[in-house]
Structure 1
């Protein structure tokens, strides 16, 4: 993303919208049949360890046809799941602890407007060449050239990222940046950009005479398919056919000693239903994340454990601020008092524990861990409005805004019925279930409301981006990020909020220190920008201020917070308990084998 796009992607579709379109409509056709769970043991496949183990291949699923998959991360077409074990991420992040741990980057230091990164010793590519600082420079530069979030914090990519020695990289920023924000940008990156493969693109982009010339280089990169990848992770690419990708253990990886099985395999399973059945029938050993409804969960073997991992994200109602009714804060607040978020979470969770009702509509995530009251709103939580269902308060708010209830229907000053319909992506069945609950509750209160569920691609590509909705559905936070800056940036400074919802730049809000005092004019977007440079107590106060503004203005109405289901099997494998903090990672299937917490049982 570029700064100008404020979180959007080329073509105007937001990053969150694009993820949803690709995730729902970019999936291949039905599975024709695939090898069994222990198929790799019949194929040799190399690798040490695993002697006497009851299972010699850790087996997962992949969306794309294996032999059609490719491994260039800057080409989104058919970028396949085996990437999780082929390359190492920069760092590891434990969600429960909210703490970063070294990985491919073994050390880092910060000095106001610069950062120094050190490459892990003994980390090598699968062809035996050492991973170097040049490879890290390549990774950072290509991410920035292709619109990565760090681009907005450097003045020029070519000069901003430099190799200091064979193992050290320096990033020069154009401002002081909160360490938590910078680490959040760096941590998820996989170190893919081997110099012999990607170095030419970096050099050409650095040397390009202008944006047009550079765009041609990047376009070429983004259309290049790599089918024979050279990784640096604990498993290396062996082969792929129509049904399976086979990886074999890379004995020279620094963490190879933690792994006692020789193979990993990814079976072609392009639908949720096939993945459900594979877990039920013991054809796969787990799944990073997969939503499974209650009726399917009941069919799982006892040795399949279901863990819950917070996504720091969930279903929200977004308002079209061009609508004369929704532009009024009294109406948005009235809706919050009408809607029973517990019922929405229950119905959208399909009988599972994967959806929690939002307790504090404030832009803050972490309801499941107590982080909101205990950390972000410590000392001020009681000041915030929870908007528990209260028809009397909703009535008072609507009447104060000039509406009246006649014959059971709310009407505006002209006598027209208050009609607030909800548009939804039909393919998001859990969201649709939640939206049905909302329309029912609004209608019962006397606000006319119906659900308009459109084809998923039509919703994201047209209805949502062209603000052709009254109330729409969208995630209300920046998923997989726990630090509040990212959520407030989305709510007040993103393409979604600015271009699709038309959220105003300024609001009138009473001060947090005196909630009954005279409202004052605030500009949340400016406060978000200030937060990027703040740390410690100053940052906490700014977070509380932004949470208060969100709570009082409701640019979106957060309904539920999602917990992702993750699956681990223990019949042939040693795995942590489902409630262990060890699985609070994105994702256990790629981290636990590396740390020695997912090993084969010995026969």
Structure 2
């Protein structure tokens, strides 16, 4: 295949919100081999027991004609099965229907092979070896052609780093080689490739979409890929397939063709809609469900739940941030760096975390756009990178230095115009609302005329630029965001097609900030340095990260506030559950990964 020149599709965020985790930052990366966990459990019988399925990978277990009850995060009218390539909202069942290339242990920071049993990054060659016994639910083998089709769909819809993918070579049915245009950072390659979900197949409709995008270099293919709304998965590569969907629920059924099907001893997995956190809490307290993938659950709610609920906590690598609108017409005050810095000083991040639930939240030590729990690994926290937590007094100093004065109402103003704005927050995300309820009075006390605005259509509001300050994730999420490249790339323009109009998102644009050593200023071509980071490793990569982190710290395209600790739940009332320290309890998500390794099995009523 001849080289294809990619154009970065910064606005297509569907794939980037789903793909990628972290690997080791070395010149040549080799994974281990294996087929996941070997410790499949044994079924426990009741009158619903069936005949055992299984093999040496999963052990033998009876398959019971029962339904495990879970919850859906959104109404059925919003959901479809184009989950890998389209944007929010995404159906939770995608984690069951589409096999992940590899699973990332969020606590131990290591990969566990799944569909891709081993891989390597050597110079400009990436090699993916597919698990030999893995088939789709229709019995067809998952082949190198299928992996190629799926990868190209992700590239077309905006996967980070897509511009360096050059060509594909199917060595055999189970081995795919990918050539890149230059040597690349192995960690970023792993992030980009290994957390893909295998939704596509080199068959209709993906074969035509592949041809149009990769071979014919046709424009507009991304919107065609993302605009599809299939009501059932096109191809099931995961351990459960979708059986039905109606106005109230979707039902998934065990896929007996999956190589780990012998580890699953229940036939169905149901996802009714329990809207919002309140609905989830009521369902857990009332034991109406057996699992829930993710639910913010404060300690007072946990106290009302039965002891048979097992909680799983692991780093989320995302959380509450506040995106600033940098468009001078839409946000004449907040588009000024001094105002953003004053806001940053005025917001006490530790107090916000305490209000929002400190047991599952972590405050950012500095406003640099690097995950809070890894900042110490990359930058000089509290030294060269100060916390910027000077409170209302420091905020006043910054505002006055910028030419603002308080008016008769006690609010900051310039030339008769008051610094007035709303902080927009998604109304159904209760912990984000709570966090913002803590932020707003801090800003008011610092002299800003500000109110909170709870909206149901936050993506539309932000996507259309109709905001001044909005509560939005500070990263694209998932374990990849433990590597600085991904959150930095996010805040510098990839987020929501640069709906915040950050000037550094433009190719060639220079952002001038105070010099890191305190002597004068420095100008940084943000996009070029991101490209440089994508190929660097070791000390060179760390130096680039520090430079970009400094720009984010000083210029504040976003204000990261909270790093979330995920909460996932399995009830042992009818199911077995892995120990919270088990690898199956430290992945996204235990409720979907534990069944495939035999650690969430039906125990009976």
Summarize deviations over 1:148-173 as a string: whole Å, max 9, x none: 44543335xxxx22312121112222
Query: What is residue 401 of structure 2 aligned with on the other side?
Result: 400
- State the shift of 1:127 in Å: 3.4
Query: What is residue 84 of structure 1 aligned with on the other side?
Result: 95
Task: Report if the CA contact (8 A) 1:572-1:600 is conserved.
Answer: yes
Quick one: structure 1 residues 442 and 561, their matched pair in 2 at CA, closer, same or farther if it must change by over 3 Å?
same
* Structure 1 runs not aligned, ≥5 long: 18-39
Question: For the residues of structure 2 that align with 1:93 and 1:551, how far apart are their CA atoms?
Answer: 29
What secondary structure does 1:383 align onto?
A: coil
Query: What is residue 238 of structure 2 aligned with on the other side?
Result: 233
Query: What is residue 534 of structure 2 aligned with on the other side?
Result: 532
Summarize deviations over 1:78-117 as a string: whole Å, max 9, x none: 9754442333211111112222232111121223233111
Query: What is residue 95 of structure 1 aligned with on the other side?
Result: 106
Task: Report if the CA contact (8 A) 1:52-1:602 is conserved.
Answer: no
Task: Report if the CA contact (8 A) 1:54-1:602 is conserved.
Answer: no
Query: What is residue 20 of structure 1 aligned with on the other side?
Result: none
Is residue 375 of structure 2 the alignment partner of residue 372 of structure 1? Answer: yes
66, 69, 72: which one aligns with 1:59? 69
Task: Report if the CA contact (8 A) 1:60-1:267 is conserved.
Answer: yes
Query: What is residue 181 of structure 1 aligned with on the other side?
Result: 188
164, 178, 195: which one aligns with 2:171? 164
Question: For the residues of structure 2 that align with 1:268 and 1:530, how far apart are their CA atoms?
Answer: 46
Structure with higher helix content: 1
- State the shift of 1:195 in Å: 4.1
CA RMSD of aligned residues (A): 3.8
136, 139, 151: which one aligns with 1:128? 139
Query: What is residue 284 of structure 1 aligned with on the other side?
Result: 289
Question: For the residues of structure 1 that align with 2:467 and 2:182, how far apart are their CA atoms?
Answer: 38
Query: What is residue 478 of structure 1 aligned with on the other side?
Result: 476
Q: Calculate the TM-score normalised by the size of structure 1.
A: 0.80
Task: Report if the CA contact (8 A) 1:276-1:292 is conserved.
Answer: yes
What secondary structure does 1:573 align onto?
A: coil
What secondary structure does 1:574 align onto?
A: coil
What are the residue-to-residue correspondences of 1:297-446 with 2, within 5 Å? 297-321=302-326, 322=328, 323-349=331-357, 353-367=359-373, 371-373=374-376, 375-377=377-379, 382-405=383-406, 409-412=410-413, 414=415, 416-446=417-447
- State the shift of 1:303 in Å: 0.8
Query: What is residue 27 of structure 1 aligned with on the other side?
Result: none
- Higher mean alpha-carbon deviation, 501-510 vs 467-476, is at 501-510
Task: Report if the CA contact (8 A) 2:48-2:64 is conserved.
Answer: no
Summarize deviations over 1:330-384 as a string: whole Å, max 9, x none: 33222222212222223334xx6333322221101143xxx221x223x665321
Query: What is residue 253 of structure 2 aligned with on the other side?
Result: 247
What secondary structure does 1:544 align onto?
A: helix
Question: For the residues of structure 1 that align with 2:413 and 2:249, how far apart are their CA atoms?
Answer: 60
Summarize deviations over 1:463-505 as a string: whole Å, max 9, x none: 4234333323222222112211011111213264844243454
Question: For the residues of structure 2 that align with 1:80 and 1:414, how far apart are their CA atoms?
Answer: 49
Summarize deviations over 1:261-281 as a string: whole Å, max 9, x none: 242321422423443333222
Task: Report if the CA contact (8 A) 1:7-1:15 is conserved.
Answer: no
Task: Report if the CA contact (8 A) 2:106-2:587 is conserved.
Answer: yes
Query: What is residue 112 of structure 1 aligned with on the other side?
Result: 123
Quick one: structure 1 residues 600 and 546, their matched pair in 2 at CA, closer, same or farther if it must change by over 3 Å?
same
- State the shift of 1:531 in Å: 0.7
- State the shift of 1:565 in Å: 1.6
What are the residue-to-residue correspondences of 1:198-209 with 2, within 5 Å? 198=205, 200-201=207-208, 204-205=211-212
Query: What is residue 459 of structure 2 aligned with on the other side?
Result: 460
- State the shift of 1:557 in Å: 1.7
Q: Calculate the TM-score normalised by the size of structure 2.
A: 0.80
Is residue 560 of structure 2 the alignment partner of residue 549 of structure 1? Answer: no
- Higher mean alpha-carbon deviation, 466-475 vs 67-76, is at 67-76
* Structure 2 runs not aligned, ≥5 long: 1-5, 19-44, 55-59
Query: What is residue 449 of structure 2 aligned with on the other side?
Result: 448
Alignment size in residue pairs? 557
